[in-house]
Structure 1
Amino acid sequence: MSDYDYDFFVIGGGSGGVRAARLAASMGKKVGVAEEFRYGGTCVIRGCVPKKLFVYASQFIEHFEDAHGYGWSVGETRFDWKELVANKDKEITRLEAAYRKGLSNAGAEIFDSRAELVDDHRIRIVSSGKTVTAEKILLATGGRPDDSHAINGGELAITSNEAFHLERLPKSILIAGGGYIAVEFANIFHGLGVETTLIYRGREILKNFDMDMRRTLHATMEEKGIRILCGEVIDRITRSADERLDVITSGDRNLKVDEVMLALGRTPNTDGLGLEAAGVATDGKGAIVVDEYMRTNVDHIFAVGDVTDRVQLTPVAIHESMCVIETLFRDNPTRPDHDTIATAVFSQPEIGTVGLTEDEATEKLGEVEIYRAVFRPMKHTLSGRQEKMVMKLVVDGQNRKVIGAHILGPDAGEMAQLLAIPIKAGCSKEDFDRTMAVHPTAAEELVTMYSPTYRIKDGVRVD
């Protein structure tokens, strides 16, 4: 019999923590899991799931416009923000219940409470003050919107957390940031009829994405009516007598808006977790330091997901948790593979990407081939919409492997997920070329770009 109350205790009920707790409990381990807010974590409760629902909602205005080209006459339309929020909340409640049911059915003990480390084997359940012991511990507390950016008047702004629960839809909004959260919300609010401005300190939005995707999306967003201010930051926010917000920027602009949203990165949730008491090391940002097996410097304490500040994606946290279970309970030490991770930006149009960008490949390799197609997708031909689709393959000029794929356009995220398989498997451009196309589809371009658009050798482009 174990000397501990639990074989395995998980602090954090997000996607990673829930997966690990459920798997361990299903193996017959005595498992406890504690979450201070709601089960499902950032992704399910106030992240990718509700955001995608909002993306769907914001797209309907374009669907209504496009319908005319296909013979449909759409009558008067009306949007109800409160109804969207209420329906979103119902779905989130359903999903949280499913997470709880999965844990309960597996036999895990659920604590609706914050939990903190007392030492390397003891955990305090804050709501009751009770202290329990665990042989092995997993920290999966995720992250939160970064509030470390000292903006004068920043307390008047909201983050993505509050954006999901606004009492009313603002008439105008200024969004600070240039990452995927800022870009996605800019498209969401604009699609819902909000006058939207995006302000970003960088020279171009979506740092670390392929430049073709960044520039084309930027141009398309501006054509839709979204104002984008690059190379600027917010200097000061004040509330005026009419309850609106006055914003002064580093470019000496004076903007008057109903809401300001800060999307300036995320911070690991490690404050007050008791890491010092347990001897768990963190880095300069407060992220938990782990090795390739997700083990901290304390041998029996592991950490996964955003709290480690490595790859901030829900599927990564889930995969890391599954690797921890293999390592701890199946005598099969397993390292998560963080190479060639597909991802998507649910902008309008959306971006799907996997592998190296053109710039990364150029810096890393001596010879690169770029296959690129720009066209108006078939679904836009009758609607009259002028948006272009961009498809791009990055190929190693020496071994002919496809090492990157980047798509801007309808269903780009779906295509990126499937492209991740052949790219992960190391398929060559010849493998793509001998694959039959599905016609008529946009994706057929991926297997019919037979000649490179240009080559790059030793950093020099050759057309």
Structure 2
Amino acid sequence: MEFDLVIVGAGSGGYEAGLYAHRRGMKVAFVELSPETVGGSCLNRGCIPSKYMRHGAYLLEKINKGDNYGILFDGLKLDPQKLAEGRDRVVSTIRENFKKFAEKLGIKIFYGRGILKGPNTVYVEGEDREIKAKFILLATGSSCASLGNIKPDGKRIFNTDQIWGLKNFPKRMLIVGGGAVGVEFAYIYRMYGVDVVLVEIMNRLLPYPSIPEESSRYLARKLKKLGVDVRLKTYVLNYSGEDVLKVALSDGSIVEVDCILLGVGRKPNTEGIGLEKVGVEKDEKGFIKVNEYCQTSVKNIYACGDITSTLMLAHKAMYEGKVAVSHMLGDSDWKRDENLIPKVIYSAYEIASVGLTEDQVEEEGYDYKVGVVSFMSNPKAMDDGEDEGFVRLIVDNHTGKILGCHILGPQAGELLHQVIHLMKAGIGVKSLANAVFSHPSLSESIIQSAMEVYYGSMTWIKRS
């Protein structure tokens, strides 16, 4: 069978690329491991089920503030089975809709492991067939990384692919890793009544260059306030026990927990898919090398998503998939730019970032200004009882170009998009400072941060 494009992996990036290619008139086929894995890690074991649970945690936090609005709750019952049923129903619905939509469009899905047999040939291991294509897009995603002697067994020791099999809330949980996954699950399980110990080997939560330290400090304070035992510069030495795990930590303490969750990152799925056979190059960490058009070292083979860099985000995969397809069709004006990829973390706060931080602009030698506005003075945030956090806008002092935006607080992930499109279009801070947003709205804080930069600072908040 011959196609214009065969996509190996029907996860977020592959699926979005396939739909885009179909819109552009290409004959497309997917190769995916099984009907149960359509949608990839994001849908089945990642961002969709975790955001469902995080919304439940958020509702619990709102319920605890109900008395401020004259709403008094007399008793509260938590049902982990109902939570799991609702979560799994959403995942299943989206996955089945994916498959039905592809079928309706006439896009074929072959089930089995896709292996490159040549620059224009994919072998489907499960169906024992070869598929020919003018172009191939690799979108095989990632899998959980391991950590030293802590071996996930899906019973007492879980990685983030296995945690969905946890049927009941444990009384006590140790989460290893204070990155995006660790802080999200720490918030979720704490709000559902679990005693959580969160350990991070670095000196702050969210130890990423793209996340300002101020965001990490805010989040650490909030998690501690909610009852999470946050321990920085700490790691697991060893553990023992069966029903109760006794875990020795590097700070000299021993904690007793019912289970351990490893949130220590993921690795690219680039082994065993025939890359070496056809000459697709990888870097020392196993990521596929791509150019600004997501093209690999083999000119008609492209790659997108978790296998191209350590920035493992579903929307980054979708974006790269469309960049790749566009280039296959002869377009050269759409280029891969990770600087414009939003990073959003969902924990006790929403934390959203795009572009450069202040540390990064200093390292690159910019003369810059920063506009910071607190949600404490935002009427909508006050009405909603969510007036913690800030908008931080970083601007080139000479050109007015927006270099970065960092938001912590209510609806941060949604608010950030109002700045991203300006950055992509090269529209400066003046346009944002002179914009009109509705009142009362959270979005007003974005205009105010722009006015702080363009017309002069009036805020009492200073960078620490």
* TM-score (ref. length: structure 1): 0.90
For 1:285-325, what per-residue CA distance to the aligned partner results, in whole angstroms no more than 9, with x for missing partners?
21111122111111221111111125322122112111222
Q: For 2:223 and 2:234, how far apart are their aligned partners in 1?
A: 18
Q: Which amino acid counterpart does residue 415 of structure 2 have in structure 1?
A: M
Match of 2:367 in 1: 367
Q: Secondary structure at the match of 2:369?
A: strand
Distance 2:463 2:334 in 1: 43
Per the alignment, do residues 422 and 132 of structure 1 end up closer, same or farther by CA in structure 2, a change over 3 Å counting?
Answer: closer
> 1:90-129 to 2 correspondence within 5 Å?
90-129=89-128
Q: Deviations over 1:157-194 (max 9, x none)?
A: 21111222312111111111121111111111111111
Moved more, 149-158 or 45-54: 149-158
| Residue in 1 that maps onto 2:46 | 47
Separation of aligned partners in 1, 2:381 and 2:16: 41
Distance 2:358 2:327 in 1: 36
Structure 2 match to 1:401: 401
1:32 to 29, 32, 38: 29
Q: Tell me by how many angstroms 1:142 deviates.
A: 0.6
User: How do residues 274-423 of structure 1 correspond to structure 2 at under 5 angstroms?
Assistant: 274-329=274-329, 334-376=334-376, 378=379, 388-423=388-423
Residue 330 of structure 1 and its aligned partner are, at CA, apart by 5.0
Report the number of matched residues: 451
Please identify, of 431-440 and 94-103, the stretch whose mean Cα deviation from structure 2 is larger.
431-440
Match of 1:146 in 2: 145
Q: Once the two structures are superposed, what CA deviation does each residue of 1:174-217 show, in whole Å capped at 9, x if it has no partner? A: 11112111111111111111111111111111122012111111
Other-structure match for 2:214 = 212
Q: Deviations along 1:410-458, whole A, 9 cap, x unmatched?
A: 111111122212233334343333234533333323223433379xxxx
Mapped contact 2:371–2:393 kept (Cα < 8 A) = yes
Given the superposition, is the C-alpha separation of residues 135 and 400 from structure 1 closer, same or farther in structure 2, using an over 3 Å criterion?
closer
My pick for the range that moved more, 275-284 or 431-440, is 431-440
Structure 1 segment 132-211 matched on structure 2, within 5 A: 132-147=131-146, 149-153=147-151, 155=153, 157-207=157-207, 208=209, 209-211=211-213
The 1:375/1:115 distance shift into structure 2, 3 A limit, reads: closer
Does the residue aligned with 1:127 lie in a helix, a strand or coil?
coil
Letter in 2 for 1:311: L
Separation in structure 2 between the aligned mates of residue 167 and residue 222 of structure 1, nearest angstrom: 26
Structure 1 stretch 138-147 or stretch 66-75: which is displaced more? 66-75
| Structure 1 residue ranges without an equivalent (≥5) | 455-460
Q: Please, which moves more after superposition, 160-169 or 78-87?
A: 160-169
Q: How many angstroms apart in 2 are the aligned matches of 1:80 and 1:160?
A: 21
Structure 1 partner of 2:273: 273
Aligned mates of 1:291, 1:252 — CA distance in 2: 47
2:14 to 12, 17, 26: 17
Q: Say which SS state the counterpart of residue 161 (structure 1) adopts.
A: coil
Residue 452 (structure 1) aligns with: 457
Give the Å deviation of 1:120.
2.9
The Cα offsets for residues 15-72 of structure 1, whole Å up to 9 and x where unpaired, read as: 1111223333455544321111411111111111111111111112222121111111
Structure 1 distance, partners of 2:442, 2:26, is 48
Amino acid in structure 2 at the alignment position of 1:422: L
Question: Which residue of structure 1 aligns with residue 68 of structure 2?
Answer: 69
Aligned partners of 1:18 and 1:103 also within 8 Å: no
C-alpha separation between the residues in 2 aligned to 1:178 and 1:141? 26
The separation in 2 between residues aligned to 1:104 and 1:214, in whole angstroms, is 44
C-alpha displacement of 1:379? 6.4
| Structure 2 SS opposite 1:441 | coil
SS of match in other structure, 2:132: strand
| Partner Cα distance (1:64, 1:168) in 2 | 22
Using a 3 Å threshold, how does the CA distance of structure 1 residues 356 and 19 change in structure 2: closer, same or farther?
A: same
Which AA in structure 2 matches 1:150?
G
Provide the rounded CA distance (Å) in 2 between the counterparts of 1:26 and 1:299: 23
Percent of counterpart pairs with the same letter? 28
2:224 matched residue in structure 1: 222
Query: Does the C-alpha gap of structure 1 residues 443 and 35 become closer, same or farther in structure 2, counting only changes over 3 Å?
Result: same
What amino acid is aligned across from residue 289 of structure 2 in structure 1?
Answer: V
Q: CA deviation at 1:332?
A: 5.2
- How has the CA–CA distance of structure 1 residues 120 and 462 changed in structure 2, closer, same or farther, with 3 Å as cutoff? closer
Q: CA RMSD in A?
A: 2.5
TM-score, normalized by length of structure 2?
0.90
Residues 74-128 of structure 1 deviation map (CA, whole Å, 9 limit, x = unaligned): 2322111111111111111111112112222222211122222233333222223
| CA distance 1:176–1:432, change in 2 (3 Å) | same
Checking the alignment, whether the CA contact within 8 Å between 2:386 and 2:410 is kept in structure 1 is no
Unaligned runs of 5+ in 2: none
> Are the structure 2 counterparts of residues 378 and 452 from structure 1 closer, same or farther at C-alpha, using a change threshold of 3 Å?
closer
Maintained 8 Å contact 1:391/1:446: yes
Q: Distance in 2 between matches of 1:123 and 1:366?
A: 47
Please give the per-residue CA displacement for 1:314-362, whole angstroms capped at 9, x wherever unaligned. Answer: 1221121112222223555742233322221111221122221121122
Distance (Å, rounded) in 2 between the aligned partners of 1:152 and 1:85: 26
Q: Aligned in 2, Cα 1:29/1:438: closer, same or farther, shift over 3 Å?
A: closer
> Structure 1 residues 134 and 173 mapped into 2: Cα distance closer, same or farther (>3 Å)?
same
SS at match of 2:340: coil
Separation in 2, partners of 1:379, 1:256: 43
Which amino acid in 1 is paired with 2:411? D
The residue that corresponds to 2:79 in the other structure is 80
